[in-house]
Amino acid sequence: MCQPLRKRPAPSFGLCLSATRCTLMRCMLVFCAIFGLSTSVAALSAPAPILLDESNPLVQAWPAVTLLSDPQKKLGIKEVMEARDRFTTPETAYGTLGLRKDAVWLLVPISVSSQSNGLWVLDIDYPVLNRIDVYLTHDKTLMEQARLGSLQPQDQRPIRSRSHSFGLKLKAGANYDLYLRIESKGALILPITLSKPSEFHANALGEQMLQGLLTGLALCLLVYSLAQWLTLGEPLYVKYAILIFGSLLFSMLQFGVGAQYVWRGNTWMELHTAGLASLIAATGSFLFIEQALEGPDVHPWISRLMKAGAGFTVFFALCFSFDLIDIYIVTAVISTLGLAPALLGLPGAISRARRGDSVGIYFLLAWAAYFVTTAVMVEVIKGRVGVNFWTLHSFQFGATFDMLVFMRVLGLRTKALHKAVEHARRERDSLHSLAHTDPLTGLPNRRSLNASMADAINHAGPENVVAVYMMDLDGFKQINDQYGHDVGDELLIAVAARLRANVRHSDLIARLGGDEFVVISSGLHSVQQARDRADKLLEAFNDPFALSEKICRIGLTIGYALAPQDGSDAISLFKRADAAMYAGKNDGKHCARRGDGTVPASSHTDWQPLDGSKVTEF
């Protein structure tokens, strides 16, 4: 981070940049940059040549630069050398000529110190410049020439690097004129330096490291968001991925990483990536902001406008890909639509932020950074703000900051999603519980019994006898009538507790309704054991029930049937147990009867499964 600072200091504040890294100073620099306070060099007289001396391993060329416009793009080096006196100092901000349609000739007079070994590297660290022709002249004689630029494949460049660089072998004590012919469809941003090879490598390494880090971070976020999208199926993640992809592509183009490693020598990519990346990022912005802010704060027509905006950008991207429109139309589209997602989302974000909703606050924060950094970059592109490390990287830093803030928005969104899922699960559980539980006693109800019964009977066998005990209280109506319904309810609760206390953990107790209960016991080894359990339940009712204001005695009649002995399906077992219970009622109550087929069918039997199928036989 330190080396690039030293590499492009603007005369007015470059020394401050390299002297201190304190945050305050950086803020001041950004402030200066935004308000166009950086130095606009417009010297009246021809600038003095730059001195190349070993004591100063990195020299900025801009202070010595003069320029000659070539609108017809017809001038050759000979004509330009003859027109040396017509070169003028640039009137734009430091290190930038803004957007120009002409070809530009730059003249950098050089004076080599007598102490220098003459080995220097010319470097222009703005990789998107399409074509740069370098001419080194001495005494009006052409000494060397080279072709650089983004359209020049890596393997045909004098030095294979991310930026445009060329090694110079100069004579100690000699004077040279360095002519650069530059032509590009984008902005002519020209951080031109002459440095010693070691210094050049050190600086290149620093910038390469920075780009590696930022590109790696963006790639991680991209892969993560796509993985989340595939896992959770939440479309907001893929919209975020589109946004990141556009941003990443743009940075890879602007700082040369794409041409260096990804689309080496691919002219189509060099000419289309800037436009496509901007349109892709705008599409992602529209979609992401629309969904992230959706809710009562965003009017439906704003949502519709954002979706339409995304549609437009996709349309223009397709047209641009097939060369149906040129970069100037794309630039006009981006200038018009680029800010639209943020502007349309602003009211929604503000009202969210006012309610203390952190999503709104994060959006405002991200947009504040976006507006500042984009404004700085636009001014550099227009030639009104000087080039330095911070202004040159402002858009990339702003985009990275936004990516991280939006990731936080995604995190909040996922958290809300989990909360909603958890809430829905709890609702479902409580509905399920309500549907399967008797509200008075908390015991499973008939519906729940049905499901568990089928499972128990399926595993029944000679060594695993399953007993179905149907139980009905004796004289419960009288308790109700005598003491009231509340006492009756209390007694039913106490009966449930008594039954629970007298069965095994693995047994199932259910209340069918009224004063009817069922116990299912599985894992019994014999008919006798089933009989003993019925007796145990009867005995449990010998003791009275101590209610809050009364002590009640109540009897119990049990009818039971066994699987596999008395039946092999739930319906027939229930029917037999039910009939046996009514037989017990008729025999004087408070007894247990087995429904083994000897008991005649009872006219009271009304057991029916919940699925509505009719019981046809007993």
Ligand X SMILES: Nc1nc2c(ncn2[C@@H]2O[C@H](COP(=O)(O)OP(=O)(O)OP(=O)(O)O)[C@@H](O)[C@H]2O)c(=O)[nH]1
Q: Which chain residues interact with ligand X by CB under 6 A?
A: 440, 472-478, 480, 485, 488-489, 492, 514-515, 585
Nearer to ligand X, 175 or 478 (CB): 478
Nearer to ligand X, 54 or 486 (CB): 486
The continuous run of DSSP H or E covering 51 comes out as strand 50-52
Output the smallest distance, CB 513 to ligand X, in A: 6
Nearer to ligand X, 160 or 477 (CB): 477
**Cβ–Cβ under 8 Å, residues 176 and 143:** yes
428-437: long-range pairs with CB below 8 Å, 24+: none
Please give the C-alpha separations between residue 560 and each of 11, 518, 583, in angstroms, as whole numbers.
Answer: 101, 9, 11
Output the smallest distance, CB 538 to ligand X, in A: 15
Nearer to ligand X, 260 or 557 (CB): 557
Output the smallest distance, CB 233 to ligand X, in A: 46
Nearer to ligand X, 324 or 440 (CB): 440
Output the smallest distance, CB 553 to ligand X, in A: 13
CA distance 503 to 533: 8
The continuous run of DSSP H or E covering 561 comes out as strand 555-563
Nearer to ligand X, 413 or 604 (CB): 604
Nearer to ligand X, 192 or 537 (CB): 537
The CA-based diameter of the chain, rounded to the nearest angstrom, is: 133
Output the smallest distance, CB 516 to ligand X, in A: 7
Output the smallest distance, CB 449 to ligand X, in A: 17
**Cβ–Cβ under 8 Å, residues 461 and 564:** yes
Nearer to ligand X, 403 or 518 (CB): 518
CA distance 609 to 78: 104
Output the smallest distance, CB 445 to ligand X, in A: 12
Output the smallest distance, CB 514 to ligand X, in A: 4
**Torsion angle in degrees (nearest 10) through CA of 53, 54, 58, 60:** 0
Output the smallest distance, CB 521 to ligand X, in A: 23
Nearer to ligand X, 531 or 589 (CB): 589
Please give the C-alpha separations between residue 109 and each of 148, 440, 544, in angstroms, as whole numbers.
Answer: 20, 99, 115
DSSP alpha helix (H) spans, 14-141: 14-19, 23-34, 77-82
Among all residues, whose Cβ is closest to ligand X?
A: 488
Nearer to ligand X, 63 or 475 (CB): 475
Residues 6+ apart with CB under 8 A from 342: 285, 289, 367, 370, 371
Output the smallest distance, CB 492 to ligand X, in A: 6
Nearer to ligand X, 36 or 439 (CB): 439
Residue among 192, 203, 224, 134 nearest 414 (CA): 224
Output the smallest distance, CB 490 to ligand X, in A: 8
Nearer to ligand X, 555 or 564 (CB): 555
**Cβ–Cβ under 8 Å, residues 381 and 330:** no
Output the smallest distance, CB 559 to ligand X, in A: 12
Residue among 97, 128, 89 nearest 253 (CA): 128
What burial class does residue 427 get, using C-beta atoms within 10 Å of its C-beta: 0-12 exposed, 13-18 middle, 19+ buried? Answer: exposed
Residue with tokens 């209340």: 511
DSSP E strand boundaries for 92-215: 96-99, 103-112, 119-124, 131-138, 141-148, 164-169, 175-183, 187-189, 192-195
What's the sign of the alpha-carbon dihedral 482, 485, 486, 490?
Answer: positive
Residues 6+ apart with CB under 8 A from 303: 290, 294
Nearer to ligand X, 66 or 557 (CB): 557
Task: Using alpha carbons only, give the angle 255, 256, 258 rounded to the nearest 5 degrees.
Answer: 115
- If phi > 0 it is left, if psi is from -120 to 50 it is alpha, else beta; for residue 149 that is left
Output the smallest distance, CB 557 to ligand X, in A: 7
**Cβ–Cβ under 8 Å, residues 385 and 372:** no
What 3-state DSSP class applies to 462?
A: coil
Nearer to ligand X, 336 or 478 (CB): 478
Residue with tokens 């020439």: 145
Output the smallest distance, CB 604 to ligand X, in A: 10
Residue among 560, 532, 554, 243 nearest 406 (CA): 243
Nearer to ligand X, 480 or 605 (CB): 480
Residue among 80, 48, 44, 53 nearest 63 (CA): 48
DSSP E strand boundaries for 427-498: 465-474
Output the smallest distance, CB 438 to ligand X, in A: 9
**Number of DSSP helices (H) and strands (E) in the chain, helices first:** 18, 19
